Amino acid sequence: MAPDELKISTEEHENRIAKIQNQLRRNRIDALYLTNSTRILYTTGFAHISTERPLAAVIPNEEPPFFMAPRLEYDHARKECPFAGDVLTYPDYPGETHPMRLFAKFMAQKGLASSRIATDSAQGAAGGYGYRGPALQDLMRRAKFIDGKDIVDRLRLTKSKQEIRLLRESAKWSEIAHDILLENTRAGLHDTLVAVKSSYDALARMLKKLGQTYVQLKIALSPVVVGFRGQVGVNSAIPHAVYTKNKIRRGDVLVTEAGVEMGGYTSELERTVIIGKPSSKAKRYFEAMLKAQNAALKEFRPGTTCSKIDEVAGKSIEDSGLTDAHRHHTGHGIGLDGHEPPWLDPGDRTIMREGMVFSCEPGLYFPGYAGFRHSDTVVITKKGMDFITHYPRGLEELTL
């Protein structure tokens, strides 16, 4: 990682591409064609806003990668990915000649018209924003397209030292942001105003400290997001709430979240917070949630199946007599995406390996009353696991 910037180094991106090219050659695949913005960022370091305009990164099995993109991305791609070969462009979408027809011509120019091509989209485009167009595989009849999603996604399962460093830096600032959130939180305020102020205060502090070493790669108004996302009072019983009309009141249970993007990577920190003296019911549910999280955390180690973590958390909730309040699996992989494989779920038998990073977040939800969930980010180590997020988890510390 470059010492002057908090982002993945060019050398690491080149190593990732070399690994992909070795795999392509072993499997007699001529090129990998990528349209998903996260896969493109992971492999090339090029971060872009995916819109209706098709954009693809192509990694031949021998030659340097090249881009096919709208003209507005030419200078951007050149700057962000200096080791790439050509950046082949079209004027705009939908164009007098559709971009996908031009992509077919560009592929032919690169000698790939009759090739075996792995791709994450046989359509040739990521789609979205109302995109419509002919499928690339229909325009390249002599080529053979095969599913290539796993070529990149398998590499992303295990994090490198650089990735873990960015996740730890993300967690450090998430913890600071969460402190600021708690300082700003009190009864009578609307949760959105508390969140916006806290996010701003935390961002200002981070930028003052990090200066130009900080790099934001994801499109967002703020790379620091801390708040409640509507999980206030009775709305905290909705795991993925969005907004609440009500102001914070004494006695409310709140579920917080704090995330800071660091060179594209974001850790996950969530806490259950109670305003005022907790009721006996709130204490019981909080402690049952914490007990389930602790039980799950003890099982993280190399060789454990992802499903085992969920099984242990579920058994703890069952032992507490609260199975009806169990609404989702125990967690998920995390890195460039907020949710990414593997999943801590009964249906995922992935074996944990050193370097895998997960959220651990069993929750309990009681409609009409409240929800209870902590989320921590952890990394699998040689002998067990290590916290990436470090923040108080006890009821006393989380009572305001």
What does DSSP say about strands 116-119 and 144-147: parallel, antiparallel, or unpaired?
A: parallel
**Other Cβ atoms closer than 10 A to 281:** 12
User: Which domain CATH number covers 184?
Assistant: 3.90.230.10
* pLDDT surpasses 60 at 3: no
Residues 18 and 58 in one domain: yes
Within-domain flag for 200: yes
The mean pLDDT value for 183-188 works out to: 96
Task: Give pLDDT, residue 216.
Answer: 94
Helix orientation angle between 280-297 and 306-319, rounded to the nearest 10 degrees:
150
* pLDDT surpasses 80 at 168: yes
Residues 297 and 350 in one domain: yes
Residues 126 and 209 in one domain: no
**Cβ neighbours of residue 315 closer than 8 Å, sequence gap 6 or more:** 295
Domain that holds residue 346: 161-387
Task: Give pLDDT, residue 371.
Answer: 98
Among residues 152, 121, 116, the alpha carbon closest in space to that of 25 is found at 116
Q: Answer for the pair 44, 87: CB distance below 8 angstroms, yes or no.
A: no
Task: Give pLDDT, residue 2.
Answer: 47
Residues 17 and 39 in one domain: yes
- pLDDT mean across residues, the chain: 96
Residues 104 and 120 in one domain: yes
Residues 268 and 135 in one domain: no
What does DSSP say about strands 31-34 and 116-119: parallel, antiparallel, or unpaired?
A: parallel
Residues 352 and 282 in one domain: yes
Task: Give pLDDT, residue 221.
Answer: 83
pLDDT digits (tens, 9 = 90+) for 314-334: 999 999 999 999 999 999 999
The mean pLDDT value for 34-47 works out to: 97
Within-domain flag for 3: no
Q: What is the dihedral of CA 127, 128, 129, 132, to 10 degrees?
A: 40
> Rounded to an integer, what distance in angstroms lies between the CA atom of residue 255 and that of residue 159?
28
Radius of gyration of the chain (CA): 23
Query: Tokens for 266?
Result: 């974001």
Residues 72 and 166 in one domain: no
Within-domain flag for 32: yes
* pLDDT surpasses 60 at 250: yes
Task: Give pLDDT, residue 220.
Answer: 86
DSSP 236: G
Q: Answer for the pair 120, 42: CB distance below 8 angstroms, yes or no.
A: no
Q: Which of 156, 174, 198 is the last residue of a domain?
A: 156
> Rounded to an integer, what distance in angstroms lies between the CA atom of residue 80 and that of residue 45?
7
Q: Which of 101, 125, 156 is the last residue of a domain?
A: 156
Residues 201 and 265 in one domain: yes
Task: Give pLDDT, residue 18.
Answer: 98
Residues 74 and 191 in one domain: no
Within-domain flag for 400: no
> Rounded to an integer, what distance in angstroms lies between the CA atom of residue 66 and that of residue 103?
12
Q: Which of 108, 134, 156 is the last residue of a domain?
A: 156
Residues 142 and 81 in one domain: yes
Q: 383-399: buried (b, 16+ CB within 10 Å) or exposed (e) per residue?
A: eebeebbebebebeebe
